[in-house]
Structure 1
Amino acid sequence: MNKKLLGLTLAAVMLLVPAFTGCSSGSKAATEDALADGVLSVAVDDTYLPMEFRDDQNQLVGFDVDFAKALGDALGVSVEFKTVAWDGIFNGLNAKQYDAIISSTSITPERQKSFSMTDPYVANGIVIVSRKDATPVKTFKELDGKTLGAQIQTTADIAAGKLKEQQSVNVEIKEYDGMLDAFAALQGKQIDNVITDVGVAMYYVAQNPDLFVVSSDVLTNEPIGITSRLEDKTTTTKFNEAIKKLQDNGKLTEISMKWFGTDMTKDIDTKLSVVE
């Protein structure tokens, strides 16, 4: 091939490149503002009561679901939900299968390095839950010789593994795909304790006050935020403005009272204390 023909061929290829870059099956093209098309595509793990789960009619409900809908109203966009297993939810975000994760995602220093995370919209930390018919576990060290259930790849699961090493605790950690399975195992005495987010723990205890008790203090401080791709800074700015609006107009308080019976959306401690 002569140089002139080679140059024309390369030029033609370069013209074609923009037509194919930034496109993926089932997702919108990458933009600085993921809300530009008027649609917010949100990923949730629908097994995490009371944050996001399926009711008796198989409808998607929960704190984060109500929050995401209120967020969409505040932003003037429609909201589409995509249910995704937790262990693949961050990979799906990076693959542009959706715009954001609104699924009880704890803000941690490690996640802040890899993703764009908003200001917190609800307080959070991890706690240990015991059965009422057993000796309550108040500290992680008291798990020595016991079995502990956690949802796989959550911050509670990660913290449990780290604390086991750091404190030399002989605890067997059993990982579950969802907290429904973990609490079913706790009720069935297949495990001795569960470690999970405080809001989740409070919900299960409220639903089963004769079975479960939150037995430990809150072990970490890891408030919950919206997760976007690292490059979507414009989207995160808009999210923060909408969160502030929902805090100021009382909508977040209303949603919190509905699901927790207390307001976990004001005066949130933003100083992170995370076991990673």
Structure 2
Amino acid sequence: MQNAIRNFLFGSVVAVALAACGGESASGTASSSGESTGQKVVMGLDDSFPPMGFRNEKNELVGFDIDMAREAAKRAGLNVELKPIDWSAKESELNSKRVDMLWNGLTITPQRQQQLLLSKPYMDNYQIIVVRPDSVINTKADLNGKIVAVQDGSSAVDAVEADQNTAKSFKELKKYADNVTALMDVSAKRVDALVVDEVVGRYYVSKKLNEYKVLGDNFGTEQYAVAFRKDDQALEQKIQGALDSMKADGTSAKIATKWFGKDIIK
């Protein structure tokens, strides 16, 4: 899923590690802050995946998963170092102990469940349907005879095509190089709807709430988790405990609303 999303996001970025705070890293070296309180854990991420993790105009690492990780680490008494990595080699980075956990919109799959130690799902990523506020489209069935946009090569394409009956009812399934252009065409009435990953779609919709609405209906879901090495149950338990407490006291919901305009935490 992530590879498809990243195709349209912000171009190439410089993979430079940001030491968020002190202690020792996975490699045993000190972080740039010089602090030494608490165990240091290195978090591997892709820094070109907004809104989960990316660089802002000041070249600072920001995003939903980064906010979640920092809060969880604080509650667990840990110091987290953010380390951008080659996401296509994330399993190797983790198992070679260059990072201690992977946290950046990681989709749960049967293969990853066998190879990695995963947290409980913390988010459902639906394939949502975005339309204009004045649209008569309210359900998937209303897409009959309509022009529907998707990002070419994205998981939205697979999700739509898997629902054969609905897909056959479209006037056209129009594929775009990126979702930003597709959203512009929704506004301009060149297409009737866009099917897109919720984490991406809600991020952009939250910036222009008057231009779009998200339907209650969708084209399916996938789940996100944090990944650890199989033998690192201690770290997984600390992070899971922090995530549980963040959900219970509403902190996760606040972070989600900040980035997506809505609480979409599982």
**TM value normalised by structure 1:** 0.62
1:128-147 deviations in Å (ceiling 9; x for gaps): 22355876473289377745
Contact 1:45 1:85 in 2 (8 A): no
**1:159 CA drift (Å):** 2.7
1:1-25 deviations in Å (ceiling 9; x for gaps): xxxxxxxxxxxxxxxxxxxxxxxxx
| Matching residue's letter, 1:183 | V
**1:240 CA drift (Å):** 1.3
5+ unaligned residues in a row in structure 2: which ranges?
1-24, 29-37
In 2, the alpha carbon distance for the partners of 1:92 and 1:47 equals 20
After superposition, where does 1:21-60 map in structure 2 within 5 Å? 28=27, 38-49=40-51, 51-60=52-61
Which has the higher Rg, Structure 1 or Structure 2?
1
**1:226 CA drift (Å):** 1.0
| Matching residue's letter, 2:248 | D
Task: Report percent identity of matched pairs.
Answer: 25
In 2, the alpha carbon distance for the partners of 1:111 and 1:191 equals 37
1:15-60 deviations in Å (ceiling 9; x for gaps): xxxxxxxxxxx9749xxxxxx96222231343322x3333332322
> 1:11 aligns to what?
none
1:187-211 deviations in Å (ceiling 9; x for gaps): 1568764333334323322212343
> 1:194 aligns to what?
194
5+ unaligned residues in a row in structure 1: which ranges?
1-25, 30-35, 269-276
1:138 paired to 2:139: yes
> 1:184 aligns to what?
181
1:214-257 deviations in Å (ceiling 9; x for gaps): 24513334343212344544432332122123233443233234
Contact 2:149 2:182 in 1 (8 A): no
In 1, the alpha carbon distance for the partners of 2:133 and 2:258 equals 26
After superposition, where does 1:186-265 map in structure 2 within 5 Å? 186-188=183-185, 193-215=193-215, 217-265=217-265
In 1, the alpha carbon distance for the partners of 2:117 and 2:57 equals 34
| Matching residue's letter, 2:68 | F
Question: Cα distance 1:52–1:250, how it changes in 2: closer, same or farther (>3 A)?
Answer: same
In 2, the alpha carbon distance for the partners of 1:89 and 1:134 equals 42
| Matching residue's letter, 1:202 | R
Contact 1:52 1:61 in 2 (8 A): yes
| Matching residue's letter, 1:138 | T
- What secondary structure sits across from 2:217 in the alignment? coil
Question: Cα distance 1:119–1:130, how it changes in 2: closer, same or farther (>3 A)?
Answer: same
Worse-matched range after superposition: 159-168 or 103-112:
159-168
- What secondary structure sits across from 1:256 in the alignment? helix
In 2, the alpha carbon distance for the partners of 1:54 and 1:215 equals 30
- What secondary structure sits across from 2:54 in the alignment? strand
Contact 2:129 2:195 in 1 (8 A): yes
Question: Cα distance 1:80–1:157, how it changes in 2: closer, same or farther (>3 A)?
Answer: farther
Higher strand share: 2
Question: Cα distance 1:224–1:111, how it changes in 2: closer, same or farther (>3 A)?
Answer: same
| Matching residue's letter, 2:201 | A
Worse-matched range after superposition: 159-168 or 227-236:
159-168
- What secondary structure sits across from 2:105 in the alignment? coil
Question: Cα distance 1:205–1:257, how it changes in 2: closer, same or farther (>3 A)?
Answer: closer
Contact 1:187 1:211 in 2 (8 A): no
Contact 1:46 1:83 in 2 (8 A): no
Question: Cα distance 1:151–1:116, how it changes in 2: closer, same or farther (>3 A)?
Answer: farther
